Amino acid sequence: MERAAQIVEVGGPAVINWVDVELSPPGPGEVRMRNTAVGLNFIDTYHRRGIYPVALPSGLGLEAAGVIESLGEGVTDWKVGDRVCCFGPTLGAYATARNIEAACLFLIPDDISNEIAAAGILKGCTSEFLVERCAKVQPKSKVLVHAAAGGVGLMLVQWLKHIGANVIGTVSTEEKAALAREAGADHVILYGKEDVAKQVRLLTDGRGVEVVFDGIGMATWEASLDSARRRGLIVNYGNADAPVGGVNLGILAQKGSLYNTRPTLFDYYHHASERAAGSEYVFNMFRQGIIKVNIGQRYGLEEAAKAHSDLEGRRTTGSTVLVV
């Protein structure tokens, strides 16, 4: 008998229930994956809260690492014993084991641990597509990263410094400021104590930044608008606070003919070739130590509700792993 998280209604962390599940043999094109580590991501809280609606009842979680235990009919690219990881698109990673489409899996290289894969594959691929293919950040560009000490934020800072950008990060505490600086941020702004846009303008000789990476949403929207330079790009890739809504597009003109996009990972990792190339790039960045996966905290699998509470309360740093 396996254990899996389930929600039957949307709401706070308390709606996460744990149920016994008896798995059937994997179907055609599927494998049985036994998890050893599960990655926690803000998108998990969006599913739980109903910001991203899901059909109920539903599992939770996208990112996990483990080992293949059995193969369904027609699966020829994998073998029992392969170490694999995944980041969706189907939910259900909060589980001891599950049947999953083989096409959703990535092989974990021998020199990458399961915990690093579970903590880093989704955030790493998110950073890759945001920097390299969405914003197409260039060397010497000035870039603002909100929540620069979070899981994605720390990876974004490291990736941006690797390509030669000048990085300004925002954080909530001095402890997180130290983490952002250690990751390579050139300047760090404490958003609760300082006027973010004013500081950005001071740091950029009044011009603003070419790109803003904003995973917070409504709470930082005005600061993002006022921090971007003329014809700058605001990339809203998450809603840690709340989604940006009710925007009059004329504000983009008023603030300097700005560009704004709301990209999602799966539109950039849609084709098999994109998935293969992107994941290989990310694992190489991990392997070379260019991107360090900072696992700030670990919880037991069935402590997911507490992990969600700490994540939403901004009591976490770096990546979080649920240990099976």
pTM value is 0.90
- pLDDT tens digit sequence for 45-104: 999 999 889 999 999 999 999 999 999 999 999 999 999 999 989 999 999 999 999 999
175 vs 102: CA distance, rounded Å: 41
User: Domains in the chain, start-ordered, CATH in brackets?
Assistant: 2-121+269-323 (3.90.180.10), 139-262 (3.40.50.720)
- pLDDT tens digit sequence for 212-238: 999 998 999 999 999 999 999 999 998
Average pLDDT, the chain: 96
| Residues found in the chain | 324
Q: Which 3-state string (H, E, C) describes 272-285?
A: HHHHHHHHHHHHHH
279: its two tokens: 């994941």
pLDDT at 245: 86
95: its two tokens: 């589980």
Residue 209 pLDDT > 90: yes
Other beta carbons within 10 angstroms of residue 297's beta carbon come to 15
Distances (CA, A) of 242 to 9, 45, 220, 245: 19, 11, 10, 9
Q: Are 231 and 258 in contact (CB under 8 A)?
A: yes
177: its two tokens: 């400021």
CA dihedral 98, 38, 114, 213 (to 10 degrees): 130
1 vs 77: CA distance, rounded Å: 27
3-state secondary structure of 307: helix
Select from 134, 173, 312, 310 the least CA-distant residue to 239: 312
- pLDDT tens digit sequence for 92-136: 999 999 999 999 999 999 999 999 999 999 999 999 999 999 999
